[in-house]
Structure formats: C-alpha cells, structure tokens
Structure 1
C-alpha cells in the first residue's frame, strides 16, 4: 500500500532530517512527521538540476504520499524549475509553502496558477499546521 511504512521505519525516520539530493547549487532534505513529510529546498533551481529535482521529489512521494514542499530558502528558479514544481504540485497531494516572490512572479508570467490559488491559503504553512485530507487537485486542506 503506497504511503504506509512499517512501524520500525516510521520511528527511525520521524523528526530526523534526511538529505535527499545535493549538488553545487541545491540541496533537498526531508523530515518525516506524523501525517506528512516536509521537503525543504535550499538554493537554486535551473535547467541543470531540474531533472534530478523532479526525480528526488518523486522519490520523496514514496517516503510519504502527503508532502509539504517548503520553498522558503530557494534563492533562484528559472522557468524550467517553476514549471517542474507546478507539475509536481498538481500531480498528487502536495502543499507548497513559503513561495518566494520571484517564483510567484514567474508563475504569473507563465500563466500558471500560483500555489496559493491551488488552495494553499497564503502559501505559508507552519510545521504545526499539517495538511488535512488530500484532494485530487493537490490541495491538502480538509473539506
């Protein structure tokens, strides 16, 4: 069953930040918490690392189907990165939070719905505000 981990694996991973990807410009970590996992991106996303980023995010979905992707420390993203994040967020139960203004602006220019418009409120969740039930459009709010 997807998204279900044996209890020993849950306890071993819970609350521990795991490195999922690292290159000269970007690193991606995942922290498993009850109910969802938080994937943090730190650095720059561009055409050089976007393919690996997508593979990393897809692998993170195997850790936990319900992901919160934190973009608060992304300092740059090109068009390829924004498109990839948008496609990923729309492909499963994912909340994207702390979206930098530069990414919001690129999404508007590309005529992509912002992560806020997808139902993520103001796009700024805290770790204490976990997503509720998943909907098919990627929105994790209850209701």
Structure 2
C-alpha cells in the first residue's frame, strides 16, 4: 500500500458482538443490526424489537451487516413477528447477506416473514 493510502474495513463490530441502531422512517421503526446474532447476543435484538405501546407497530430489521445468525436469532424474529402481528403491525427483513439468507431459507422463515433485497423495498412494499 502506498504511503498515505487508507484501507477500508467492513467490520462494524468485534467478532461475537451485536450492535443495533434504531431509527424511524415514515413511521416505520428501522433496526440496523451489525455483527452476530446468537444465544449470547439475541437479547440485544429482542430488546430493540420491543416496540410495545406503539399502535400498529411496523418494524424493518436491516440484516445487511449481520455476519452470522443461529437458531437463537430465528427464535427472536419469530417471537417478534408474532407479537407485532398480534398488535396489528408487521415485521419485515431487509438485505440479508448470503449466509443469513441461507439460514432463513433452510428453516422457512422467508415464507413467514417478508424478506426484501433492499431496505427501500422493505419500507415501501
């Protein structure tokens, strides 16, 4: 690398950790997750998905920076989907990476929870 050049890295969080950044776009709660969703970090996502008290809560989880998800993450998403649907709202998933999308397809979550290739699609469909 030439002097003065800076290498860009994609890693948003240290291995084994999960961060979730929450925002609201046109009344939709957008949760941008980065890192790994497993038995140690699943509670972080579950807490972020708790939008209790919001009328007809609509939530999109942007999975574009999630590098790993196991059955704990699947359980969190199923529970949130059920809770949000019972409250008259919905849950959508956006931008799952190849490894996460493979898990979603293997267990059939993509047939239960709307999955979209882009965040824009998840917000507008």
* TM-score category (smaller protein): 0.5 to 0.7
**Aligned-CA RMSD value:** 2.7
CA distance in 1, matches of 2:98, 2:53: 29
SS in 1 for 2:96: coil
1:124 to 98, 101, 117: 117
Higher relative contact order (CA 8 A, sep 6+): 2
Which consecutive segments of 4 or more residues in structure 1 shift more than 6 A?
Answer: none
Show the 5 A alignment for 1:1-143: 25-58=17-50, 60=51, 62=53, 65-92=57-84, 93-109=90-106, 111-114=107-110, 117-118=111-112, 120=114, 123-127=116-120, 130-131=123-124, 141=125
More helix by share: 2
**Structure 1, unaligned runs of 5 or more:** 1-23, 132-140
Structure 2 length-normalised TM:
0.66
Structure 1 length-normalised TM:
0.59
SS in 2 for 1:91: helix
CA distance in 2, matches of 1:105, 1:55: 25
Give the direction of change, closer, same or farther, for the CA distance of 1:52–1:130 in structure 2 (3 Å limit).
closer
